[in-house]
A = this chain, B = another copy of it.
């Protein structure tokens, strides 16, 4: 048994906040920082603030003599070249196109820095220390505005030829389906937040009665996935039907993933991933319908368990695994 814990700082790089945490190799958080990005005028200020956060956390050693940091792991929301620590583009955070983030941070903190996309970071957190910790082969997905994914094979993130593997949201579930720049009939077009709401509105427009009209106080623009879930939990047929359809579309995508990779578990995070039995009940049923028993009998679907900490824990873990 090892008697010396190892530590890293994990950074969850978001458009509104940058969150930092001092994390050990058991996935425990010992200290935190949260930096609002609105105050940061430019990229240099942003990098300086992150470096300052790292050095503050380094001073909060839970051990005596103080631990030394193994390094810093950063999860960013966009396209990165993991090997070079290079950001290609962050679609929702302006000013970070073509940035060698790892080397710019290494210059400031004098520690090894690893950069990955935020879904890989969350997946690592969940699969090593969270809901997926009992498994070696896990497919992690986030359900929310879009559908993100990451693959943990043999306990390691599998990144593919150019660091972009895991794009579950673009997998085809309907070859003649909705066309987008990423293809035709991609899963995300059927189960994203907006699509869930659109399904409900379509039924309402057809004049189907629903508790939703009461819950939204006549303002249908206020209807969101959570309100639909709430109505479904109260037995609203329309809302139950919407979640059943969404679950079946998701099952179609997950059946393809299961046949290709035969993971032990699917771990589901993101806003819609936090839904209750109204999503997971029909999802399990439809996935079973869509798989041979050889596959269906040995696959587990679990909800992510680390909540908003998955990103910082996972980013630190990526560094500590390396």
**Chain A interfacial positions (CB closer than 8 Å to B):** 79, 137, 149, 151, 153, 158-162, 164-168, 170-176, 181-185, 248-249, 252-253, 255-257, 259-264, 289-292, 294-295, 298-299
Contacts and interface: CB of A to CB of B under 8 A. Distances in A.
B183 A291 contact: yes
Given A175-B173, A255-B172, A260 B262 contact: no
B259 A260 contact: no
Given A160-B263, A183-B290, A249 B165 contact: no
A197 to B, nearest CB: 20
A252 B177 CA distance: 11
A259 B290 contact: no
Given A175-B174, A175-B248, A249-B175, A166 B256 contact: no
B290 A165 contact: no
Contact of A182 (B137, B166, B174, B291): B291
A180 B141 CA distance: 27
Given A183-B290, A260-B257, A173 B172 contact: yes
Contacts of A294: 79, 162, 164
Please tell me how many copies of the chain the complex holds.
2
Contacts of A261: 151, 158, 160, 165, 260
Contacts of A290: 172, 183-184
A184 B173 CA distance: 10
A299 B162 CA distance: 10
A61 B249 CA distance: 57
Contact of A174 (B174, B259, B299): B174
Nearest to A164: B262
A239 B149 CA distance: 39
Pick the 9 closest A-B CB pairs, nearest first. Answer: A160-B262, A175-B252, A171-B256, A167-B259, A165-B262, A183-B290, A170-B259, A161-B264, A182-B292
Given A181-B292, A294-B164, A298-B161, A172 B137 contact: no
A253 B173 CA distance: 9
A152 to B, nearest CB: 12
Given A255-B183, A290-B184, A260 B260 contact: yes
Given A172-B255, A252-B175, A292 B160 contact: no
Given A172-B173, A172-B290, 13 more contacts: A137-B160, A160-B261, A161-B298, A162-B262, A164-B294, A168-B260, A172-B256, A173-B175, A175-B249, A182-B292, A183-B289, A183-B292, A260-B260
